Chains A and B, each alone.
Chain A
């Protein structure tokens, strides 16, 4: 698709002088009855960035999107776009446009009339709005289908119509509610690229809600990982993936093993930890130095774990390793996912490069030692309280 930047429609009054799409959420809270859908959220989404709100169902990400859009009023807190408060304003005056999960194309209107709906509401004459709707359809390469009805279009085509219908309002913020979830895998990957390209071309802020980790990582300049009603971490995709802030983020992103131990000594910037099961770990705290006696949790990426077979009698572990039994093996193409049963841990996974795996193949039931280099241990901000979080990726 070749999207050219949308020009401001002539005659459309822009209520604010600033065209910045910077979104700021301040102490934002939303209660439904007695339950907090969202609690004390503080977040700044820079102008022109692609932001993904990531989290399991019911974590409040869609509620945040709907509050930015003006479809839900916050219980307390402030929302500003481009520096001015938008609370109480209708969507068009906020400069936002929302793409609904089901697309919500009007079933009784043709594709062209769907796209022209915004112009019709503003009283733009019939010829003028048809011309502009056709231009917009041209941009999403659907001009030839303009007289069709929504029900006659495929999922991918419907999505492009929904995009065209949103973009004709010339928004400074585009809000997308799980835009790819209704598409099949092949189309999803294709539309993912198109969304990213579109955002780069338009230069406006995109806020994209998703529960799929790879989608967020592939698209976003900024990933906001949410747990029930609060933000656990908001950072660049690479930081979320490599340096998760909390055990929840580490588990949710699915690429990390989380371990915990008590700090026994700190020497020369290296902390020695002992786990409840007697294993010993070493790591270099990146941020604040922990105190001796503190509990400390850290994560190690799955692909930094090395696995070796061991004799059953071998019960003593070296530093930076755990003993386990192979639970399952999944071939993934370029690597093999080896899931271990480690006493006291819910999950422990090693992603072994397929070349290495087939030099020394192991199978379910084999006793193994899993080890890693201390430079790969990443200290988490919060002590692990067990993998009680639902939806943790395995």
Chain B
């Protein structure tokens, strides 16, 4: 090969620069928040970082000065977990239901997906109004849970469609051929094969709920979830405690994603060992 063939074209450098800018734009703000959450007692909201310390993390868990962060977290986490479990259960079973064409399956599918395009804030108002009409009070474990499910279920269903679309029916037939009962074929063949997809659904369910703002807005009732609490804080807290909160929530999200991806990779590795 002549050496001129090995040289990279100028477009490579242009595209690399573009990629670099994109990555900076993506992670720059997150890194800024992370760094500034270790700001010293000077309480400056801007760079530079002076006398790095952990006092704003301490501040965060002291509800007298900032908002009720521990309380908001103690609602957001169980809410996200419940949404996750329900999303997995409903999406997976619905996905299997849709594998067999039945009368009205098309319209039913589009109805299930349609809630994705309804603006979240409008939906929030609608749920509140409906709840009041029915004499129910808004709460994070009631109306907000329903509101979050309108958002996570369509995603879960779409993921299951993609997963099950690739699941060849011959696996179940082979299981049947080898004497498996219907239940054994689901337990020993189908579920293990689609398990990575179920983790993906769980991940979506958790993260979409954990940082959902618009659909929580009017449906949580008197007690805020974490995104609402952060929003409230941005209007009245002017200390790096805000950054500390940003760091803590990001770390939690990363942790959840890492656990989920880690388990997928573990399964894949076991299969191709």
Q: Could you list which residues of chain A lie within 8 angstroms of chain B, going by C-beta atoms?
A: 69-71, 90-92, 96-98, 100-102, 104, 106-109, 117-118, 120-122, 147-149, 151-152, 165-166, 169
User: Which chain B residues numbered 169 to 218 have a C-beta less than 8 Å away from chain A?
Assistant: 170-171, 173-181, 184, 188-189, 192-193, 195
Question: Quick one: given A107-B271, A149-B271, A151-B272, are A71 and B176 in contact (CB under 8 Å)?
Answer: yes
Q: Which residues of the other chain, B, contact A92 by a CB distance below 8 angstroms?
A: 177-179
Main DSSP-derived SS at the B contact region: helix
The verdict on B103 contacting chain A, using a C-beta distance below 8 Å, is: no
B65 CB within 8 Å of chain A: no
Q: Which listed residue (A97, A117, A151) contacts B175, Cβ 8 A? A: A117
**Interchain nearest-CB distance for A2 vs B (Å):** 24
Tell me whether A106 and B272 are in contact (CB under 8 A): no
Q: Give the distance in Å from the alpha carbon of A114 to the alpha carbon of B173 in the complex.
A: 14
Minimum CB–CB distance for A66 against chain B, Å: 9
B174 touches A152 (CB 8 A): no
Among A117, A148, A149, the residue within 8 A (CB) of B178 is A117
Give complex CA distance A108, B266 in Å.
12
Is the C-beta of B273 less than 8 angstroms from some C-beta in chain A? Answer: yes
Contacting B188 at CB < 8 Å: which of A100, A104, A120? Answer: A120
Nearest chain A CB to B7's CB is how many angstroms away? 38
Contact residue among B179, B181, B189, B272 (Cβ-Cβ distance under 8 Å from A152): B272
A360 to B188, CA, bound (A): 68
Cβ–Cβ < 8 Å partners of A118 in chain B: 178-179
Which residue on chain A has the smallest CB distance to residue B273? Answer: A149
> Which one, B177, B189, B195, contacts A106 given CB within 8 A?
B189
A121→B177 contact, CB < 8 A: no
Contact B179 A91 (CB under 8 A): yes
Quick check: is B234 within 8 A (CB to CB) of the other chain? Answer: no
Query: How many pairs of A and B residues are in contact by the CB < 8 Å rule?
Result: 75
A16 to chain B, nearest CB (A): 16
Cβ contacts under 8 Å, A106 to chain B: 171, 174-175, 189, 192-193
Given A90-B176, A118-B178, A121-B184, decide whether A104 and B271 contact each other with a Cβ distance below 8 A.
no
Distance from A11 Cβ to chain B, minimum over Cβ atoms (Å): 13
* B168 interfacial contact with A, CB 8 Å: yes
B residues near A90, Cβ cutoff 8 Å: 176, 179
Contacts of B181 in A (CB 8 A): 121
Q: Which residues of A contact B174 (CB under 8 A)?
A: 98, 100, 104, 106
7 contacts between A and B (CB under 8 A): A90-B176, A91-B176, A92-B179, A100-B170, A118-B178, A121-B179, A151-B271
Q: Which residues of A contact B272 (CB under 8 A)?
A: 149, 151-152
**How near does chain B come to A145, taking the closest CB pair, in angstroms?**
12
| Interface members, chain B 112-146 (any A CB < 8 Å) | none
Closest A residue to B180 using CB positions = A121
Cα A152 to Cα B189 with chains together (Å): 19
- Rounded to whole angstroms, the CA-CA distance of A104 and B177 in the bound complex is 11
3 tightest Cβ-Cβ pairs between the two chains A and B: A104-B174, A104-B170, A92-B179
How far does the Cβ of A132 sit from chain B's closest Cβ, in whole Å? 14
Q: Which residue of B lies closest to A168 (CB)?
A: B178
A96 contacts across to B, CB distance below 8 A: 177
Mark out the residues of chain B between 243 and 272 whose CB falls within 8 Å of any chain A CB in the assembled complex.
267, 270-272
CA distance A147 to B174 in the complex (A): 20
Closest to B196 in A: A108
Tell me the smallest distance from the CB of B122 to a CB of chain A, in Å: 43
Distance (Å) between the CB of B265 and the closest chain A CB?
A: 15
Bound complex: CA A90 to CA B176 (Å):
8
Looking at the assembled complex, report how far the CB atom of B236 sits from the nearest CB atom of chain A, in whole angstroms: 53
How far is B184's CA from A149's CA once the two chains are assembled, in angstroms? 21
Give every chain B residue within 8 A of A100 (Cβ-Cβ).
170, 173-174
Q: List residues of chain A with CB within 8 A of the CB of B267.
A: 108
Closest Cβ of chain B: how far from A293's Cβ, in Å? 54
Determine the chain A residues whose CB is within 8 A of the CB of B178 once the complex forms.
91-92, 97, 117-118, 121, 165, 169
Task: Check A102/B177 contact, CB under 8 A, given A108-B192, A120-B188, A121-B184.
Answer: no
Q: Mark B157-175, 1 if CB is under 8 A from A, else 0.
A: 0000000000010110111
> In the docked arrangement, what's the CA distance between A152 and B195, Å?
20
Q: Which residues of B contact A147 (CB under 8 A)?
A: 273
Cβ contacts under 8 Å, B273 to chain A: 147-149
Set of chain B residues within 8 Å of A122, measured between Cβ atoms:
179
- Smallest beta-carbon distance A93→chain B, Å: 9
Check A104/B179 contact, CB under 8 A, given A149-B272, A151-B272, A152-B272.
no
- Whether B193 pairs with A107 at a CB distance below 8 angstroms is yes
Which of A97, A107, A108 is close to B177, meaning CB atoms less than 8 Å apart?
A97
**Within the assembled complex, what's the spacing in Å between the Cα atoms of A165 and B171?**
13
Q: Are the C-beta atoms of B168 and A169 separated by less than 8 Å?
A: no
* Given contact pairs A151-B272, A165-B178, A169-B179, A104 touches B184 in the complex (Cβ within 8 A): no
